């Protein structure tokens, strides 16, 4: 596929994806519920983005605004997008409006398609996390009710629809992420009621429920989390969805306890707060979850309408009777509409996450599935599988583009290369170095079945008296017999767990240290596992695993690699456990090198054809390749003639005597790996400890004798541990163990690793200084101008501004207006007497405060200071500046003329842009560089006091235009009016969300807390 076609395809997919459930508003905050908005209004947050989006987790395009935010562009230019669903309906009760809305907002923090975003991450975010808010409004009374859904909050994955579920991290490694997840939920929602809808009969779902319950009861929240397991499929099989009444009965007390949010928008008072939420999940948190939540939502709606019923009777009683309307009629109409919303929402959320409509949306709408519904259910399952297999990569890339993950660096290549080089030289300024102990072991088990009492201490803890490892990595090969059955079935989960437990128990028993299992990966017979000392495991982040099939041209996993990577503090590790093809000869040797290259290329690439690379093996700071690399000794006949007479009778120590070899170095000359290393660029990056132990293959099982079978294999060092030559890794020991369970001997290596911990603030300071240094050296955007050329006045303006010493009460209206200087990004009100530098060369020509250099106490002090420095102002101008705030203009060419006359530039670390040329004349150095009459003459020469009133008028005009964007329509006062989003591409939502943080008390909310309106749906967009 050529690049043009590929880009076009991605653009088409992006437009399609944006048209399926993205919404925006010019004034109404879609990112948070009405109740939670109160927390922001009372928090007095200093984050300007919180004004338009108080919950950034639902602000999908926030990263696309990063560059604008860095340039201080006014937030009024920002339009937050949410993904999810919005349904709105306006009905009539004897001429009075009743409005219904269902708003669902999906978090972008663990975003992705179904098989790319499962479970939890290190920061506590879960896949498919959606907050749903159900709103009812009758005139001035507004009800709101919130529920949440999300993937089971443990580390798990599912490679495909047919494959089972894998728990990808141990219980100890899950605890911290689990804690972060529920800690955030309790902070946001006060109380949590977990409703787990997984099956009691499907093994993959039983595993999840079991681990979920374990985490709850081992967490500090076990007394606070209300948990209920409800086997949805069991109760609803055979189209028995009426059995969901049992679910409502089980959660009824929670519905009663939590209540719902009630707001009187006319009185601007909060009458009641919702006290908790239901967190509902199934496997995907889609179909079953949506049906269950819809039932709870209908129950809440009935209670809300019952409360409104008193208002209807008291206020409209005669009119209702006159019209012949019963309250039940109103209730039925509302319930019918809300059912439609829940069904439509189920389709939207499913389409966004799984690629198809909900498989049982008919149940939300009609209460049953029916025969045709079952047929459609099966067809959608097949459709999901096909979409997941064929098209998921495009959808995932669309998500990444919207989230800004594909953003390209705007730093020039020269600057980037300069920063890389110079930052490395200065690492000690922002980096702390410490050492940790690392163990790596490899063992080809030859299909040996483990037993519980095996002692692995001679392999795992060869030097336990003086070397107790902090991190342990073990790799096994042939953990199962490599027969047709195991290759096709993918190995044995039981064997993997048994060996993990054996390693962990041996570490704990023989060191008396508390080790924990972190994670593992397996590929048929290849297995790699990671363990750490307890406590250190919390320093590991960005943990990921991968596997690469190499057998039969990458089709099967009898040969291949299993990998684990992670960050420890700020140092990246990658461990690659390999089982490469066997065979003697140059072609086989070349094939093994190619297989290592394939591992590099294909590791950590998402499956099913997706092209996104999570991590590149080559980019890790510390890399270790180990396993059964299957390199042999060449020219076996040279050894066989001496070996054969001894083979059946002599033990291993006779081997070298029979070969008349005095040391290992002579034997290593015939080692295939050493020869292959010369021809492979990847292998040359690695080194190996000195081979001062006997070849590890092939032995008779449970014997010290090498192979005495009819094959009579020549001994070789098949089992190796290699580490990158230039990494911060030093080898302490390299050797083998004498465990005899297999025809291979296990190999181990002990390392000390240097770990980097970066101080991000210090690093940023160093980088900022280097950027300024680079710009001052290169003058990339500011080439010298001949002093003979007359400068053009007022081009690329930078201004000096003096604020007079008056307080607000002393200023006239005109002066106050001038006082509010409009900067791109925000409105800044400088302190009285501030003396600062303004840069006007950014977007929209709005001035920007770069740095404050002096604080002026009063006009007399300013006058004295300026006279002393003999710069920029004469008496008349000082007097004018202290009274009327007129800026004095110094353009870039005038500044350059100053520079060419021999005045040295001044470097200010605070300055962010090299275009801010007036930086050359601020700070104390100015006194030294410009003196007396020389400065006065220079000022006259460049025409310093050529003011440009037009620029001021343009800025005032721009400020008025920008301000008009935020003016709300006073006629609109609720978030529900306008046509359904299903019918048109945009629709209005009018509202004044008023919030309080009190508990069931009347709270007055100020007028300043009102917000503008206009919800619009981002569909069928031509431009982004």
pLDDT, average across residues 638-665: 50
Residues 176 and 259 placed together within one structural domain of the fold: yes
Which string of DSSP letters, residue by residue, matches 510-546? Answer: HH---EEEEEEEEETTEEEEEEEETTGGGGEEEEEEE
Domain assignment present for 1011: no
Largest CA distance in the chain: 116
18-32, 559-573, 840-854: which has the highest mean pLDDT? 559-573
366, containing H or E segment: helix 361-366
Give me the phi and psi of 698, to 5 degrees please. -115, 135
Contact 3, 611 (CB under 8 A): no
Look at residue 963 and tell me whether its pLDDT is greater than 90: no
For residue 889, what pLDDT is reported? 32
667, containing H or E segment: helix 664-668
For residue 13, what pLDDT is reported? 76
The long-range contacts involving 130-133, CB below 8 angstroms and separated by at least 24 positions, are 130/84, 130/104, 130/105, 130/106, 130/285, 130/349, 131/33, 131/58, 131/104, 131/105, 131/107, 132/102, 132/103, 132/104, 132/293, 132/297, 132/345, 133/33, 133/34, 133/101, 133/102, 133/103, 133/104, 133/105
For residue 516, what pLDDT is reported? 94
919 lies in which domain range? Answer: 783-963
Average pLDDT score over the chain:
72
Q: What is the distance between the alpha carbons of residues 29 and 48, in angstroms, rounded to a whole number?
A: 13
**Final residue of a structural domain among 361, 382, 402:** 402
- Residue 69 neighbours by CB under 8 Å, 6+ apart: 49, 825
Residues 731 and 787 placed together within one structural domain of the fold: no
Q: What is the chain's Cα-based Rg?
A: 35
**Sign of CA pseudo-dihedral 150, 153, 159, 161:** negative
Lookup: tokens for 76: 């009024």
CA distances from 942 to 792, 879, 881, 890 (A): 10, 22, 20, 9
Domain assignment present for 970: no
Lookup: tokens for 819: 């006082």
Residues 485 and 534 placed together within one structural domain of the fold: yes
Domain assignment present for 825: yes
Q: What is the distance between the alpha carbons of residues 985 and 1022, in angstroms, rounded to a whole number?
A: 12
Domain assignment present for 56: yes
491 vs 347, which has greater pLDDT? Answer: 347
Total structural domains in the chain?
3
Look at residue 799 and tell me whether its pLDDT is greater than 60: no
Q: What is the distance between the alpha carbons of residues 475 and 306, in angstroms, rounded to a whole number?
A: 64
Residues 701 and 841 placed together within one structural domain of the fold: no
For residue 394, what pLDDT is reported? 63
Residues in the chain: 1024
Q: What is the distance between the alpha carbons of residues 529 and 439, in angstroms, rounded to a whole number?
A: 12
Domain assignment present for 1024: no
Residue 93 is given by DSSP the state E
Ramachandran assignment for 795, one of left (phi > 0), alpha (psi -120 to 50 degrees), beta (any other): beta
* Helix (H/G/I), strand (E/B), else coil: 901: coil
Q: What is the distance between the alpha carbons of residues 646 and 316, in angstroms, rounded to a whole number?
A: 108
Q: What is the distance between the alpha carbons of residues 364 and 288, in angstroms, rounded to a whole number?
A: 10
Summarised one tens digit per residue, pLDDT across range 542-590 is: 999 999 998 776 666 689 999 999 999 999 999 999 999 988 888 888 8
Per-residue pLDDT band at 490 (split at 50, 70, 90): low
Number of H helices, E strands in the chain: 31, 31
Angle at 339 between CA 1012 and CA 16, to 5 degrees: 65
459 alpha-carbon distance from chain centroid: 39
Q: What is the distance between the alpha carbons of residues 171 and 215, in angstroms, rounded to a whole number?
A: 7
Per-residue pLDDT band at 982 (split at 50, 70, 90): very low
CA distances from 384 to 392, 566, 844 (A): 10, 32, 47
Residues 594 and 707 placed together within one structural domain of the fold: yes
Residue 603, domain CATH: 3.60.10.10
Residues 806 and 925 placed together within one structural domain of the fold: yes
Q: What is the distance between the alpha carbons of residues 461 and 1015, in angstroms, rounded to a whole number?
A: 64
Tokens 């969805």 correspond to 241
Residues 861 and 827 placed together within one structural domain of the fold: yes
pLDDT, average across residues 206-213: 96
pLDDT, average across residues 902-922: 34
Q: Number of C-alpha atoms within 13 angstroms, CB side, residue 180?
A: 13
For residue 220, what pLDDT is reported? 94
Q: What is the distance between the alpha carbons of residues 559 and 552, in angstroms, rounded to a whole number?
A: 9
CA trace torsion 734, 737, 741, 745 (10° rounding)? 40
For residue 572, give the nearest of 544, 534, 612 by alpha carbon: 544
Per-residue pLDDT band at 282 (split at 50, 70, 90): very high
Count of other CB atoms within 10 angstroms of residue 371: 8
**Sign of CA pseudo-dihedral 705, 711, 716, 722:** negative
836, containing H or E segment: strand 834-839
Residues 169 and 284 placed together within one structural domain of the fold: yes
Residues 748 and 795 placed together within one structural domain of the fold: no
258 vs 423, which has greater pLDDT? Answer: 258
User: Any alpha helices (H) in 266-326, and if so which ranges?
Assistant: 287-323
Residues 332 and 369 placed together within one structural domain of the fold: yes
647 alpha-carbon distance from chain centroid: 59
pLDDT, average across residues 677-702: 89
Q: What is the distance between the alpha carbons of residues 403 and 59, in angstroms, rounded to a whole number?
A: 9
Residues 437 and 394 placed together within one structural domain of the fold: no
Contact 68, 826 (CB under 8 A): no
pLDDT, average across residues 168-175: 90
**Final residue of a structural domain among 941, 963, 985:** 963
Look at residue 593 and tell me whether its pLDDT is greater than 60: yes
Domain assignment present for 420: no
pLDDT, average across residues 633-652: 54
Q: What is the distance between the alpha carbons of residues 835 and 832, in angstroms, rounded to a whole number?
A: 9
Contact 117, 74 (CB under 8 A): no
Q: What is the distance between the alpha carbons of residues 463 and 751, in angstroms, rounded to a whole number?
A: 12
Lookup: tokens for 916: 């801010």
Count of other CB atoms within 10 angstroms of residue 651: 11
For residue 135, what pLDDT is reported? 96
Domain assignment present for 1005: no
Contact 545, 519 (CB under 8 A): yes
For residue 159, give the nearest of 610, 617, 613, 614 by alpha carbon: 610
* Helix (H/G/I), strand (E/B), else coil: 850: strand
Domain assignment present for 859: yes
Look at residue 521 and tell me whether its pLDDT is greater than 70: yes
Count of other CB atoms within 10 angstroms of residue 430: 19
Lookup: tokens for 584: 């003697």
Look at residue 681 and tell me whether its pLDDT is greater than 80: yes
Residues 460 and 395 placed together within one structural domain of the fold: no
For residue 637, what pLDDT is reported? 61
Which string of DSSP letters, residue by residue, matches 108-147? Answer: STT---TTTS-SB-TTS-BTT-EEEEEEEEETTEEEEEEE
Lookup: tokens for 853: 């250099």
**Final residue of a structural domain among 725, 758, 791:** 758
602 vs 1001, which has greater pLDDT? Answer: 602
Relative orientation angle of helices 672-679 and 586-602, to the nearest 10 degrees: 60
* Helix (H/G/I), strand (E/B), else coil: 94: coil
């Amino acid at each position: 596929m050529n690049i043009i076609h590929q880009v076009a395809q991605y653009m088409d997919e992006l437009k399609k994806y944006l048209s399926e459930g993205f919404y925006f508003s010019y004034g109404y905050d879609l990112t948070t519920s009405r109740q939670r908005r109160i927390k922001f209004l009372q928090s007095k947050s200093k984050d300007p983005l919180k004004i338009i989006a108080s919950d950034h987790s639902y602000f999908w395009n926030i990263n696309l605004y990063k560059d604008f935010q860095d340039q201080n562009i006014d937030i009024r230019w920002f339009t937050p997008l949410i993904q999810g669903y919005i349904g709105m309906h306006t009905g009539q009760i004897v001429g009075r409006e009743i409005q219904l809305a269902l708003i669902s907002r999906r978090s972008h923090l663990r975003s992705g398609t179904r098989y790319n975003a499962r479970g939890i991450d290190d920061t506590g975010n879960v896949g498919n996390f959606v907050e749903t808010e159900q709103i009812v409004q009758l005139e001035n009374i507004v009800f709101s009710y919130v529920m949440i859904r999300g993937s089971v909050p443990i580390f798990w994955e599912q490679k495909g629809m047919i494959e089972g579920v894998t728990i990808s991290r141990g219980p100890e490694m899950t605890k911290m992420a689990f804690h972060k997840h529920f800690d955030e939920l309790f902070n946001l929602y006060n109380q949590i009621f977990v409703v787990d809808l997984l099956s009691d009969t499907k093994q993959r779902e039983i595993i999840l429920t079991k681990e979920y319950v374990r985490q709850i009861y081992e967490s500090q929240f076990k007394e606070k989390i209300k948990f209920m397991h409800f086997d949805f499929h069991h109760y609803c099989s055979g189209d028995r969805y009426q059995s969901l009444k049992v679910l409502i009965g089980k959660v009824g007390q929670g519905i009663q306890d939590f209540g719902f949010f009630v707001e009187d928008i006319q009185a601007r008072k909060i009458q009641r707060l919702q006290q908790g939420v239901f967190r509902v999940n199934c496997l995907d948190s889609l179909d079953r979850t949506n049906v269950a939540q819809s039932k709870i939502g209908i129950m809440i709606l009935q209670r809300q309408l019952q409360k409104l019923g008193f208002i209807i009777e008291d206020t409209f009683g005669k009119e209702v009777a006159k019209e012949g309307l019963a309250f039940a009629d109103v209730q039925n109409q509302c319930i019918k509409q809300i059912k439609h919303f829940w069904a439509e929402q189920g389709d939207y959320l499913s389409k966004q996450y799984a690629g198809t409509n909900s498989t049982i949306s008919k149940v939300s709408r009609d209460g049953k599935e029916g025969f045709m519904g079952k047929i459609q259910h099966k067809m959608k399952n097949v459709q999901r599988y096909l979409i997941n297999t064929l098209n998921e990569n495009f959808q995932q890339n669309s998500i990444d583009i919207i989230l800004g993950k594909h953003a390209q660096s705007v730093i020039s290549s020269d600057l980037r290369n300069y920063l890389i080089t110079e930052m490395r030289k200065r690492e000690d300024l922002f980096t702390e170095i410490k050492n940790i102990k690392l163990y790596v072991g490899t063992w080809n088990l030859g299909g040996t079945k483990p037993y519980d009492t095996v002692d692995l201490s001679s392999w795992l803890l060869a030097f336990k008296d003086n070397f107790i490892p902090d991190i342990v990595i073990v790799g096994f090969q042939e953990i199962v017999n490599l027969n047709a059955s195991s290759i096709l079935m993918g190995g044995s989960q039981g064997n993997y767990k048994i060996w993990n437990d054996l390693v962990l128990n041996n570490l704990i028993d023989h060191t008396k240290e508390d080790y924990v299992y972190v994670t593992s990966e397996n590929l048929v017979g290849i297995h790699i596992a990671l363990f750490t000392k307890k406590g250190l495991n919390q320093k590991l982040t960005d943990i990921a695993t991968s596997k690469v099939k190499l057998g039969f041209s990458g089709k099967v996993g009898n040969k291949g690699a299993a990998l684990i990577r992670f960050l420890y503090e700020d140092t990246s590790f990658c461990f690659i456990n390999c089982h490469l093809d066997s065979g003697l000869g140059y072609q086989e040797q070349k094939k093994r090198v190619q297989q290592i290259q394939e591992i590099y290329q294909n590791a950590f690439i998402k499956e099913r054809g997706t092209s996104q690379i999570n991590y590149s093996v080559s980019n890790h700071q510390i890399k270790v390749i180990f396993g059964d690399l299957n390199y042999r000794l060449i020219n076996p006949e040279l050894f066989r003639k001496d070996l054969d007479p001894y083979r059946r009778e002599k033990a291993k120590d006779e081997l070298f005597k029979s070969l008349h070899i005095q040391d290992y170095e002579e034997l290593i000359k015939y080692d295939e790996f050493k020869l292959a290393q010369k021809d492979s660029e990847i292998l040359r990056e690695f080194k190996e400890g000195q081979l001062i132990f006997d070849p590890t293959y092939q032995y008779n099982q449970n014997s010290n004798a090498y192979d005495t079978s009819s094959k009579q294999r020549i001994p070789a060092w098949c089992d190796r541990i290699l580490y990158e030559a230039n990494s911060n890794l030093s080898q302490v020991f390299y050797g083998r163990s004498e465990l005899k369970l297999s025809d291979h001997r296990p190999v181990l290596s002990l390392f000390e690793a240097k770990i980097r911990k970066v101080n991000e603030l210090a690093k940023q300071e160093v980088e900022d200084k280097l950027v300024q240094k680079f710009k001052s050296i290169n003058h990339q955007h500011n080439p010298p101008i001949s002093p003979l050329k007359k400068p053009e006045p007022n081009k690329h303006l930078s201004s000096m501004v003096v604020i007079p010493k008056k307080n607000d009460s002393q200023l006239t209206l005109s002066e106050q207006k001038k006082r509010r200087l409009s900067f791109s990004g925000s409105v800044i009100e400088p302190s009285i007497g501030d003396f600062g530098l303004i840069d006007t060369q950014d977007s929209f020509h709005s001035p920007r405060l770069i740095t404050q250099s002096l604080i002026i106490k009063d006009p007399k002090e300013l006058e004295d200071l300026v006279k002393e420095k003999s710069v920029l102002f004469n008496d008349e101008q000082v007097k004018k500046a202290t009274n009327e705030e007129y800026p004095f203009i110094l353009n870039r060419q005038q500044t350059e003329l100053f520079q060419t006359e021999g005045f040295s530039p001044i470097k200010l670390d605070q300055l962010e842009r090299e275009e801010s040329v007036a930086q050359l004349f601020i700070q104390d150095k100015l006194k030294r560089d410009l003196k007396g009459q020389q400065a006065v003459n220079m000022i006259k020469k460049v025409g310093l006091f050529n003011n440009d009133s037009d620029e001021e008028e343009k800025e005032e005009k721009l400020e008025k235009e920008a301000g008009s964007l935020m003016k709300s329509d006073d006629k609109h006062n609720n978030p529900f009016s306008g046509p359904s989003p299903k019918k048109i591409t945009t629709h209005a939502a009018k509202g004044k969300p008023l919030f309080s943080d009190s508990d069931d008390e009347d709270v007055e909310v100020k007028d300043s807390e009102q917000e503008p309106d206009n919800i619009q749906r981002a569909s069928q967009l031509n431009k982004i």
